[in-house]
Amino acid sequence: MNIPVLSGIVEGLGVFFKTRRYIAYTIVFVFTAFLGLFVTWLITLTVGTPTEGLLVNVFAFVGSAGTIYFAFGALFTGLGVDGLWITRRS
């Protein structure tokens, strides 16, 4: 049985992952998400030490940079103005 909503999502993901730059957006997002989780784990090991403050700052930077990069890329791509975001090489 074909469910239109799910079929549309699967078809959209297929189109999304056909292009290298979209895969790059996803890789950056996933990498920074896992890096954020790793830094969170390090923070739990260093609670109460001076290193904790440094790790919190690293976590904030890493978590926000990857997510914001992915969000801008997805927004510009959705609006069809991704040429502003990524230039094409000839």
pLDDT tens across 5-28, in order?
A: 777 777 777 777 777 777 777 787
Does residue 89 surpass a pLDDT of 70? no
Q: Phi then psi for 49, rounded to 5 degrees?
A: -105, 160
**Cα–Cα separations (whole angstroms), residue 86 to 25, 49, 65, 74:** 11, 41, 17, 12
Q: Are 28 and 70 in contact (CB under 8 A)?
A: yes
Which domain, by its residues, includes 26? 19-78
pLDDT of 84: 65
Domain count of the fold of the chain: 1
Q: What global pTM score does this model have?
A: 0.57
- Residue 88 belongs to a domain: no
For the chain, the straight-line distance linking the first and the last C-alpha, in angstroms and rounded, comes to 44
- Residue 67 belongs to a domain: yes
Cα(24)–Cα(7) distance, rounded to whole angstroms?
24
Give the pLDDT confidence of 25-69 residue by residue, as tens digits: 778 778 888 888 888 888 889 899 988 888 888 888 877 777 777
